[in-house]
Structure 1
């Protein structure tokens, strides 16, 4: 975002907003997998039921990098969508540039401040004004497992890192891929932060990836985390390079692989396949992270428009997202949990209920931490530097963990 801001200043562009067709709401997002597309279809139907025209602007790519590139081009040209999937601190960056609209009237009418936890509401605001709408809360530190595979090798789903390595060796001997993985930077980072959370604990995890403490980033615990993360590469298959996350999830579904470390959007794939939580698949916290919760909040930032009918559609979109009906239907399809803490969870599956319980409890213990891998803990500039270091380290069979920890600290420092 820093480079983007500098680019705007250099060319001296003003934001000339282009009128669109009356009542149209265009939404840019990267929810293109089976479960995700089904979840977005719910919102589309609800908007069309209100008489608005939905224009889907989906850009494939699980981490959203391609979508952000397209969005920057559209925004600079003066033709932004009504809403775009933007997360974490990048919401504030877009607001600083003057692109986002004020949603306080919608928020006030619907009592958002009462319905949302402060950690969620604060992320959606810029200078104390709502500029984005939270859609859901994802727990990132999940381990997904196929129970039939574990039964075949007479092993239990691991709860600690030591147990993980022990059972992974057993699975490997039985010619089963222990860990389904996609060799993409954001997926590497997802596995890395789960291992880091287990080794560092929530306090040092936050020190490293939120507060950018150089001593923690380059310290002994980080070296240990990197060492154990690098060991994970022994348990993935050679074809992991470039694999999309949902394809990796499918490997667990069909028994080709035993486990996957991935956020609970993976549950949307199990649901779309007609599988039942606790029976056909198992969800447990990533090894060693039972008492912590790394969160990823999906949200739609709302851009300034100058067509009255489109503004009305945009505000109806914002209002609809936080209504209990949409929160229930969407999150059941997506695999996440509602952002509202006043929701009845009795109709949700066991994984979602466990996630909501953990979300509430860790918010009280201080073990609720923002995901680095999914853009919640820091800026995209810092995240990009971390991604480069982690992916290069993971893909280098002879990489040195101590040198990498020092390189990690230097890379983060350079992006601040």
Structure 2
């Protein structure tokens, strides 16, 4: 009891003296930017928020595909303690909107003229029933192939543009005693390779029918069977230690010359950049075999959850505006390897890979080759995406035939 009286007395004196700390508005942000380039990008946003007098509570959950983060988010929302914002993508924004837990941030969007600076394909994903509920951070291109040119040179191979050339290069790399394809045996990584294979084998229109519209005839077609045959052949060039390997460790294999090629989105470039590597010299960024006229997009965004109190709501709008500022969009995307979601960001500091991504996105948005990534939550609802991902993972880890996989894919497309 004496201790309690002493504590109360100290607090009373502090209040009278005006020395109690003032608790600034705070934002708690759930994200899974935990690898090198990504982590630096998150730190930049924290810095911007703190410069605006808003404290940052980091809620980072490791796992490149975001599954662990989504599990943590569901637990928090169910407990009635949602974070200020969470890294969410595509159809999942609509699913959370249906739950009635997302905040209307039209005030920030109006102030920043988001409708004018965002491509329609991007702004549409950020809205729920016509109102902004999320702020886009970037656009990733998923259908990249990352190549170490020194490995190609040692093997006497050339950079591939189609699957025949890809397998010719892979054979030479394997013969040279190196790993042809760096890969992490995790379901989301398997799905990342799969969607690029489907796009390369069937083209953008087939991809849309099969992977976005989930057309049953396309899912069981000879073209899909050929895609699985191609995936089965790719498996033979992956090393035996791939199971469970994180994506950035697979990227490190290419960086260090242990492996020749990796199928991965352009967040992989952040790892090359962090290692001091130069595009065109130390590494090549090529469209995945057969996909040079297409662009699979993955948009990172922060969805805003309902928060209580005027201070917290104001801090949330400050966060939304910070995310959409040209200053942050430039530094984030330079670190992460992606391209800005909004117009009006200088291209001056972006490298050749990013500039190619910007130009290809513009071209494919006009040609019809711009398609949403299924593997990264942009194309279909989470139940169907999960069921399809399970089929691909089973195919990658068993002797399942291509015909059986195509039939299983059509069945998974009906998941609810």
Partner of 1:406: 407
Q: What stretches of structure 2 of length at least 5 have no aligned partner?
A: 1-22
Partner of 1:91: 93
2:154 and 2:176 in contact (8 A); partners too: no
Deviations 1:57-110 (A, max 9, x none): 000111111111110010011100000011000001101111000011110111
Q: 1:342, CA displacement in angstroms?
A: 3.3
Q: What stretches of structure 1 of length at least 5 have no aligned partner?
A: 1-20
Partner of 2:8: none
Deviations 1:122-141 (A, max 9, x none): 00001010000100000000
Instruction: Establish whether residue 69 from structure 1 lines up as the match of residue 75 from structure 2.
Output: no
Q: 1:118, CA displacement in angstroms?
A: 0.4
Deviations 1:257-301 (A, max 9, x none): 011100000000011111111111110100110000000000000
1:159 and 1:288 in contact (8 A); partners too: yes
Partner of 1:157: 159
Please list, as runs of the form range in 1=range in 2, the aligned pairs for 1:325-404 lying within 5 A after superposition: 325-396=327-398, 398-404=399-405
Q: CA RMSD in A?
A: 0.9
Distance in 2 of aligned mates of 1:153 and 1:109: 55
Q: Indicate the structure (1 or 2) with the bigger Cα radius of gyration.
A: 2
Please list, as runs of the form range in 1=range in 2, the aligned pairs for 1:281-296 lying within 5 A after superposition: 281-296=283-298
2:155 and 2:175 in contact (8 A); partners too: no
2:326 and 2:344 in contact (8 A); partners too: no
Partner of 1:256: 258
Partner of 1:16: none
Please list, as runs of the form range in 1=range in 2, the aligned pairs for 1:129-278 lying within 5 A after superposition: 129-278=131-280
Distance in 2 of aligned mates of 1:345 and 1:368: 21
Aligned residues: 394
Deviations 1:177-211 (A, max 9, x none): 00000000000000010000011111110111211
Distance in 2 of aligned mates of 1:157 and 1:311: 51
Task: Tell me the TM-score normalised to structure 2 length.
Answer: 0.94
Partner of 1:8: none
1:22 and 1:307 in contact (8 A); partners too: no
SS at match of 2:380: coil
| CA gap 1:341/1:361 in 2 versus in 1, 3 angstroms | farther
Distance in 2 of aligned mates of 1:136 and 1:414: 30
Partner of 2:129: 127
Distance in 2 of aligned mates of 1:39 and 1:314: 19
SS at match of 1:288: coil
Deviations 1:341-391 (A, max 9, x none): 333212200000000000111000010000000000001101100111001
Partner of 1:28: 30
2:296 and 2:370 in contact (8 A); partners too: yes
